[in-house]
């Protein structure tokens, strides 16, 4: 079966499923951040796949993907700064162990 919009569904939505599940179950901030990265990457795959299989004469999907990658980079940098600051003040990055 040649790859297409429907046959590639499991590899587009699989990382989204894993990311959502990881975000809800894990309490470690770094793992939660990685789950968000997985979700964003799944969205990127969707943009690329739909652009390639439905509108190959345009590059809009690719540009949206580039912007999402840039926003993911900014988000990761800010999140890691917050995690480091939190670890410095609370000596833990586990969400359940945080107290005021």
Site for another protein in 51-80 (CB under 8 A): 51-60, 62-63, 65-67, 69-78, 80
Q: Is 95 in the site for another protein (CB under 8 A)?
A: no
Question: Which of positions 3-62 make contact with another protein (CB under 8 A)?
Answer: 3, 5-6, 8-11, 13-22, 24-28, 30-31, 33-35, 37-38, 41, 45, 48-60, 62
SS3 string, 30-85, reads HHHHHHHHHHHHHHHHHHHHHHHHHCCCCCHHHHHHHHHHHHHHHHHHHHHHHHHH
Q: Is 98 in the site for another protein (CB under 8 A)?
A: no
Q: Which two tokens stand for residue 26?
A: 């894990």
């Amino acid at each position: 079966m040649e790859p297409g919009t429907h046959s590639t569904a499991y590899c587009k939505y699989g990382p989204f499923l894993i990311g959502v599940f990881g975000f809800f179950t894990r309490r470690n901030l770094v793992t939660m951040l990685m789950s968000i990265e997985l979700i964003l990457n799944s969205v990127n795959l969707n943009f690329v796949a739909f652009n390639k299989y439905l509108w190959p004469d345009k590059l809009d999907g690719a540009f949206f993907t580039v912007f999402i990658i840039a926003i993911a980079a900014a988000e990761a940098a800010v999140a890691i700064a917050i995690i480091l600051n939190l670890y410095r003040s609370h000596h833990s990055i586990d969400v359940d162990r945080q107290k005021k």
